[in-house]
C-alpha cells in the first residue's frame, strides 16, 4: 500500500468558501465529512445534525418519514444562516443530484461573498444502496431512482471541468472518500 492509497482527499479552499459535498444518498458523504479535523474556521453542515436536533424533541420511535421534510427544511435554513453569518469556510452536505439544489448553493455562495467549490462523491447505485443499509436509513425506491438517474449525468458533466460559476469541481470515488478529507487553506 502506498501513501497515495491512504492519503486523504485534499481540497484547496481559500478563505470565504462554500463547499458542497454531493453525491447519491449512501455514497459516503457523511463518512468523508466525519474525517475532517476540527477547525474553528470551518463549519460542516450535515443533515444528520438537524435530524438529531429534531428527533430529540419528538416522542421515541417517531418514524423518520413523518418528519423527513422538516429535517430537510431545517438543514437548508442552517446552510443559509451559516453561509451568511458564519466563519471562513462552510461545508454543506446535500445529495444535490438535481440542478436546482446545486444552483441554489451556487447562488448562496455568491450572495454570501464566498467562492463555490463542489466535491462529488461518486458511487454506483448498488454501492450507494449498500451504504444506505449500513447506516440504517434507506431512501424510498422512487426517490432513490430519481437521484440515481441524474447522478450519472452529473458525474459525466463534472469530469469535463467545473460548471459555470463554480471555482472548482472534483469527482472522487467511494474508496477515496473513505480515506478522508483535508481542507488546504
- Domain ranges, ordered by start, for the chain: 3-184
- For each of the chain's 185 residues, which pLDDT tens digit applies? 444 567 888 999 988 999 999 998 888 888 899 889 899 999 999 988 898 999 999 999 998 889 989 999 999 999 999 999 988 999 999 988 889 999 999 999 999 999 999 999 988 877 877 766 676 566 666 677 777 788 888 999 998 999 999 999 999 988 888 888 989 88
Architecture of domain 3-184: 3-Layer(aba) Sandwich (3.40)
On the 0-12 / 13-18 / 19+ scale of CB atoms within 10 A, 69 is: exposed
CA atoms within 13 A on the CB side of 108: 25
Identify the residue whose cell numbers are 454570501.
112
**Angle, CA of 144, 121 and 162, to the nearest 5°:** 110
Amino acid at each position: 500500500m502506498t501513501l497515495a492509497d491512504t492519503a486523504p482527499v485534499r481540497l484547496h479552499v481559500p478563505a470565504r468558501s462554500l463547499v458542497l459535498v454531493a453525491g447519491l444518498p449512501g455514497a459516503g458523504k457523511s463518512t468523508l465529512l466525519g474525517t475532517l479535523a476540527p477547525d474553528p474556521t470551518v463549519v460542516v453542515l450535515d443533515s444528520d445534525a438537524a435530524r438529531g436536533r429534531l428527533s430529540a424533541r419528538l416522542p421515541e420511535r417517531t418514524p423518520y418519514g413523518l418528519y423527513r421534510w422538516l429535517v430537510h427544511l431545517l438543514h437548508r435554513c442552517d446552510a443559509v444562516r451559516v453561509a451568511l453569518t458564519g466563519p471562513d469556510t462552510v461545508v454543506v452536505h446535500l445529495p444535490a443530484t438535481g440542478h436546482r439544489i446545486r444552483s441554489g448553493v451556487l447562488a448562496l455562495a455568491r450572495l454570501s461573498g464566498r467562492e463555490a467549490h463542489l466535491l462529488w462523491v461518486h458511487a454506483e447505485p448498488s454501492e450507494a444502496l449498500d451504504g444506505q443499509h449500513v447506516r440504517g436509513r434507506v431512501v424510498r425506491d422512487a426517490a432513490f431512482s430519481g437521484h440515481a438517474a441524474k447522478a450519472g449525468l452529473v458525474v459525466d458533466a463534472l469530469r469535463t471541468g467545473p460548471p459555470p460559476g463554480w471555482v472548482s469541481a472534483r469527482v472522487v470515488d467511494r474508496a477515496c472518500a473513505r480515506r478522508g478529507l483535508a481542507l488546504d487553506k
